[in-house]
Chains A and B, each alone.
Chain A
């Protein structure tokens, strides 16, 4: 090992950028899909119907009690089998880890987003619901026009923080040989025998991106916390 070879990084930049693009893409799709599905799960958990609430709670607790890595591998096996069952094909279609990861992360993150959304909905006082119902809005209208807008504003910082965690967790797909940012760096590191440069560079990029993102979230939280006690907005 004689000194750091920075040229190995500049040469690999286009390849690394491709990996980073996949990471960002997967993060965005999983965050949006996870929030959508998580909101449905949260509503199901808050439902007065015991079976609906029970099934949703069971799903969320199952997902939250097993390692993400295990879930990634589960879905890698199960997504092709599930597609075969849905389409009635003779043999399981070849899906590939790149695409099954989208399903995995949406379904996995939904469990975490569900708990955030649930807390957000609960944080909107019960009086809001009673007042809206008294004004003649039906249950769906109350939810869409009164409860959810306030809930999402309250929980936006937590949702964004979870998205930053998700951005980091996506790196686990590299263990299925997917060329995300970490996977791309790993392949170069092995090919060129430049483990030190590649992994230090990857760590630095994540550090800069995630620190900047969480600093932005904190600033937004300071300036936009509406209707909260100033103590909690610190």
Chain B
């Protein structure tokens, strides 16, 4: 074992190996953060459609969720990166001219964002359904429109109730960024393999990556726990939960 390897410079250029892994980590975090924004926005929208008054919207939401949940993530990456440009000529023209890392980043964030949004939609739906019909009926009886009912009554409580599953979705999202390696995005896992292949120090490289993923998972978990405690409303189901 040779832990000094991280301080050694790469064969080309003058960056050390640890700096290259750190840049991979940066891409991982950026990708996860952008995908998380997409996933929360789309997931909430789909979750609302799933539980709203419109039958057609609910059916469309079901199809959306089934579509993104029943195709393996790696296949979804291939669809976004290899197949979509072939089916859309203007997109293909742009892809050919654009910086490859930009294309990979956009494909990865879209893919992970929508993949995760289907899972979040299910959590939002389950959260809204767990509130029972009374909340909705009371809100409507007070004269709130359906939109107002969601905005001011259902969603604020739902998000508090579903914080624990949202936390695990965020951690899953961070872990899933590693699959972006399949389309060549230079994220942490990609850099780890690259370092292993060039230096033959697979063990050291993978140990460093494992540690990094564990630290991110722990940090994401703590951050969500912190938010969960900050927004807790005493007496509302699910928010008084003790840490386990």
Contact = CB atoms under 8 A, between A and B. Distances in A.
Given A196-B83, A211-B70, A77 B203 contact: yes
Interface of A: 1, 62, 65-70, 73-74, 77, 168-169, 171-172, 174-175, 182, 186, 189, 195-196, 199-200, 202-203, 206-207, 209-211, 214
Given A62-B214, A172-B179, A70 B189 contact: yes
B75 A182 contact: yes
Contacts of B202: 77
A67 B175 contact: yes
21 contacts: A67-B213, A68-B175, A68-B178, A69-B189, A70-B210, A73-B206, A74-B210, A77-B203, A169-B72, A172-B74, A174-B74, A175-B74, A175-B181, A195-B83, A196-B83, A199-B83, A206-B75, A210-B69, A210-B70, A211-B70, A214-B69
A214 B68 CA distance: 13
**Of listed B76, B177, B179, B203, residue having the most chain A CB within 10 A:** B179
Contacts of B178: 67-70
A19 to B, nearest CB: 13
Contacts of B66: 207, 211, 214
A162 B45 CA distance: 26
B206 A70 contact: yes
Contacts of B179: 67, 69, 172
B115 to A, nearest CB: 11
A65 B214 contact: yes
Contacts of B67: 207
A168 B192 CA distance: 24
Contacts of A73: 193, 206
A211 B213 CA distance: 31
Contacts of A69: 178-179, 181, 189
Given A70-B210, A73-B206, A77-B206, A200 B79 contact: yes
Contacts of A68: 175, 178
A207 B69 CA distance: 8
Contact size range, B? 35 or more
A207 B87 contact: no
Nearest to B179: A69
Given A70-B206, A77-B206, A200-B79, A195 B73 contact: no
B213 A70 contact: yes
Contacts of A202: 75
Contact of B79 (A1, A174, A175, A199): A199
Interface in B162-178: 171, 175-178
A209 B75 CA distance: 14
B214 A168 contact: no
Nearest to B174: A67
A167 to B, nearest CB: 8
A109 B233 CA distance: 36
B201 to A, nearest CB: 11
The 9 closest A-B pairs by CB, nearest first: A210-B70, A67-B178, A168-B72, A65-B217, A67-B175, A171-B72, A69-B178, A195-B82, A199-B78
B213 A206 contact: no
A210 B182 CA distance: 22
B25 to A, nearest CB: 13
B86 A195 contact: yes
A211 B179 CA distance: 23
B237 to A, nearest CB: 14
B71 interface: yes
B70 A66 contact: no
Contacts of A65: 171, 175, 213-214, 217-218
B209 interface: yes
Interface string B77-94: 011001100110000000
Nearest to A81: B203
Given A1-B86, A175-B181, A66 B73 contact: no
B186 to A, nearest CB: 15
Contacts of B203: 77
